[in-house]
Amino acid sequence: MLQLSKFPVKTLKSAPKVSDNKSTSYLLQAWFIRQEMAWAYNYLPYWLRVLKKIENIVREEMNAIWASEVLMCSLSNKESWLKTKRWDTVDVLFKLEWSGNKEYWLNPTHEEVVTPLMQEFIQSYKDLDNMSVYQFQTKFRNEARAKSWLLRWREFLMKDLYSFHRNQDDLDRYFEIVKKAYINVFNRLWIWKDTLYTFASGWAFSKYSYEFQTKLSIWEDNIYVCSSCWQAHNDEIIGEKFECVNCKKDKYEIIKTSEVGNIFKLWTKFSDAFWLKYDDANWVSNGVVMWCYGIWISRLMWVIAEYFMDDKWLVWPENIAPASHYIIVIWDNLEKAKILAKQIEQKWWEIIIDDREKIGFWQKAWDSDLIGIPNRIVISDKTMESNSYELKSRISSEIKIIKF
Ligand SMILES: [Zn+2]
């Protein structure tokens, strides 16, 4: 149970004006985040509670497909990046210089770390039975294009999963498993019905990559959706004329979205660079086939904030809200109220009790709405006359009187 008298939050009377989006204003106003500098934010307790719940949903779905969680270094090893020839070609790096002219950078992605790491384990085809590892890691990208409000952050949290396979058939099977896990994640976060599985550019690795793009009123990408079969395409892969990759027809509509996840085929690009090979059943040496699968965790949170907010406040789904219930006490016997709040907590899910002194009922009720807590409970002199409390739903505004 969270007691607000012991919690470092201080909501603002009005929403600060920021660039071009309302959810960031609300998040600043409701004391979820504080900006440190351009494109870098400090996470405050409410934000962290939501973030950890999203992270946990992703973790459960990754564990369910037998992926193993690791945490790799943020600092890079220059030799590894020289091996893949990306030290001088990737342009979004934060480079650091240390004594003795040693150079490092902060990893923007982890193929150069995970490939030699897994090389210590993988030798035989028996080591490649849907083998995958994943992590939640802060990534750094020195984005020149740091203009868009949530896509181009310089510091952000990402879930990246890397899978290792004997051949393409193995990989294709595993791909479907991961895709289903991603759909589970977006379903559990209530955005799957407005999220498009999208063909995008494969960049240096292959013809296509795959993205999960969520429809938003404020957007970063234009997605071309085929009018015949509803296949979505990122505008990166649209040439002079639209042709659906699936049914080859040419009619489309444009939908505005933000990217929340992606899947890249890496093939043997990295395993070749590091000589990551395995022996098959006939003792023939083969290159390991690799894929990587990302979910932009901190951006996903912004997308969810933007997707669910109404015209006045934040609105969080109950399973990821900072708490499911917000209790306001208008009763002299605060200590007794806390005991009753514990009882409610056993019955419900997760409680914030607003026990701040010198703050009136309306301010507390307003805070509860602003923060986006789905249910509000009032314990007052009046409700205690009948040994009960008042429960109000944020969505339906319905009020119920419930006995202790
Ligand atoms: Zn089509």
How many A from CA of 261 to the centre of ligand 1? 22
- Alpha carbon of 286 to those of 104, 271, 276, 330, 386: distances in Å? 32, 10, 9, 71, 75
Task: Tell me the pTM.
Answer: 0.93
Q: What is the pLDDT averaged over residues 309-336?
A: 90
How many A from CA of 197 to the centre of ligand 1? 13
- Spatial distance between the Cα atoms of 236 and 250, rounded to a whole number of angstroms: 16
**pLDDT above 90 (res 337):** no
How many A from CA of 232 to the centre of ligand 1? 8
How many A from CA of 224 to the centre of ligand 1? 10
Q: How confident is the model at residue 148 (pLDDT cuts 50, 70, 90)?
A: low
- Spatial distance between the Cα atoms of 205 and 153, rounded to a whole number of angstroms: 24
Which residues does 25 contact at the CB level (< 8 Å), separation at least 6?
A: 15, 16, 17, 18
How many A from CA of 229 to the centre of ligand 1? 4
Average pLDDT, rounded, for the chain: 90
SS3 assignment, position 229: coil
The pLDDT value given to residue 218? 76
SS3 assignment, position 373: coil
The pLDDT value given to residue 8? 84
Helix, strand, coil percentages, rounded to 5, for the chain: 30, 30, 35
Contact 246, 229 (CB under 8 A): yes
How many A from CA of 331 to the centre of ligand 1? 62
Q: Among 11-15, 41-45, 252-256, name the most confident range.
A: 252-256
Write out pLDDT tens, residues 186-232: 999 999 999 999 999 887 767 889 999 999 987 788 899 999 999 99
Report the share of the chain in percent with pLDDT over 70: 96
How many A from CA of 33 to the centre of ligand 1? 41
How many A from CA of 300 to the centre of ligand 1? 27
Ion ligand 1: protein residues whose beta carbon lies under 5 Å: 226, 228-229, 231, 244, 246-247
Write out pLDDT tens, residues 117-126: 999 999 999 9
Phi/psi-derived region of residue 41, left when phi > 0, alpha when psi is between -120 and 50, beta in every other case: beta
- Spatial distance between the Cα atoms of 42 and 44, rounded to a whole number of angstroms: 6
How many A from CA of 198 to the centre of ligand 1? 12
The pLDDT value given to residue 150? 54
Q: What is the pLDDT averaged over residues 241-270?
A: 93
Q: Are strands 388-393 and 351-354 parallel, antiparallel or unpaired?
A: unpaired
Q: φ, ψ for residue 293 (rounded to 5)?
A: -135, 120
**pLDDT above 80 (res 171):** yes
How many A from CA of 231 to the centre of ligand 1? 5
Q: How confident is the model at residue 262 (pLDDT cuts 50, 70, 90)?
A: very high
The pLDDT value given to residue 396? 85
How many A from CA of 264 to the centre of ligand 1? 22
How many A from CA of 233 to the centre of ligand 1? 10
**pLDDT above 60 (res 145):** no
- Spatial distance between the Cα atoms of 184 and 62, rounded to a whole number of angstroms: 10
How many A from CA of 104 to the centre of ligand 1? 46
Lowest mean pLDDT among 55-64, 98-107, 294-303: 98-107
How many A from CA of 194 to the centre of ligand 1? 18
- Spatial distance between the Cα atoms of 74 and 7, rounded to a whole number of angstroms: 31
The pLDDT value given to residue 161? 97
The pLDDT value given to residue 354? 93
How many A from CA of 227 to the centre of ligand 1? 7
